[in-house]
Amino acid sequence: MRAIALLLLAAGCASQEPNTDWRVAGADPGNTRFSPLDQINTTNVGQLQVAWVYHTGDLPPDGHGEIQATPIVVDGVLYATTPKVAVIALRADKGTLLWRFDAFPNRPTQPHVNRGVVYWVDEGGHDRRIFFAVDRRLYALDARTGEPMRSFGDSGWVDLGAGLGEDFSGTYLVSTSPGVVYKDILIWGTRVGEEAGSAPGHIRAYDARTGKIRWTFHTIPWPGEFGYDTWPLETFKSAGGANSWAGMTVDTARGVVYIPTGSATPDFYGGDRVGANLFANSLVALDAATGKRIWHFQTVHHDLWDRDLPAAPNLVTVTRDGSCAEAVAQITKSGLSFCSIDSQANPSSRSKSVWSRRPICVGSTRGGHSHSRSSPRPSHGKRSVRPR
């Protein structure tokens, strides 16, 4: 996809309704991606006209550039990232530039894709910040001016490579999806390499004011932690991946953050990581305030096929046995959608009649180790896509 502009479309309707903010990339912390606005509907969508266009000016000389970011809108201001992963603030009604922040203004090319920013405001409404990541840096900007908040980390940013337990300064580590906020805690994931020697995908939570790490969840467990026995001994020192690159979801009422993770590394060979490899390929529910594990559900045991969980989960309401229930739903690359009817309960224990660990064909691989002997599959229902 090539993109050098942000477009806003407007309908020629006489009546004007109050604006509704879109403060989170997924519309709300539950990632519902739903808007109550109905001014644009099936009767007038064919009459839409371009209201304004803003050109970022970031298209590289070779003509290849893209914007993957979902803009957010807060109090009439649109915040987004550009192909060069600069942050811009525009008047949402006119497309007028209010400010632009570029951490690397002299870099001509796009360093990596970026899917958006995070907005945070303190309880008093005075401290308003935009958080975003470029390369290994997680920045805090003043939402009004775009200037770095000097009280956050090292004069406005923290190093996402710090606090991982080992020195991974020479490995690939960036952030492509925005994190989430819970009260004054900023929870962030990373994208890492897919080869042997890659960095681990541990989840860090930062103080939204100071940038100090409030808690860390080891997606590759350390000694004494749950799941440590699903890896060979001492593997935590060298294993990588199990990172959350696709985004997260927060249940602000319950104080739970739901984190989807990717595969362990290397992607297509597991001879050096025999075992189920928790918490790779898992939906993990953590206490958002402390980072303590509440439950997890691993969708693929000992992944050898790069079956990352590719999107943030959705908080939904489902009808079951004639009554409504809160649930968390997670899609997968395999075409299966996993759903926990009670969003505080482990799907593997609460939905035994729906999900089971079925035996799978076991084959020998290079190095003599075997695939996992089971994998979660639905007891009934159909795939959302046809397997190849």
- Residue in 178, 11, 6 with CA at minimum distance from that of residue 90: 6
Q: What residue has token string 């000389």?
A: 61
Distance (Å, whole) CA 55 – CA 35: 26
Q: Is 142 a catalytic residue?
A: no
192 phi/psi in degrees, rounded to 5? -125, 180
Q: What residue has token string 């996402």?
A: 160
Cα angle 19, 311, 86 (rounded to 5 degrees) comes to 60
SS3 230: helix
Tokens, residue 340 = 């926990």
What's the distance, Cα to Cα, between the start and end of the chain in Å? 25
CB distance 243 to 267 below 8 Å = no
Q: How far is CA 279 from the centre of its chain?
A: 16
Cis bond leading into 18, ω under 30°? no
- Residue in 155, 146, 116, 114 with CA at minimum distance from that of residue 128: 146
Distance (Å, whole) CA 329 – CA 349: 15
CA distances from 60 to 4, 65, 245 (A): 10, 6, 25
Q: Please enumerate in sequence order all residues whose Cβ is within 8 A of that of 224, keeping only pairs 6 or more positions apart, or say none.
A: none
One of 28, 306, 321, 342 is an active-site residue; which one?
Answer: 306
Q: Which amino acid is at 307?
A: R
CB distance 11 to 38 below 8 Å = no
Tokens, residue 10 = 């407007």
Neighbouring-strand partners of residue 84: none
Strands 191-192 and 203-207: unpaired
Q: Which residues are catalytic?
A: 306
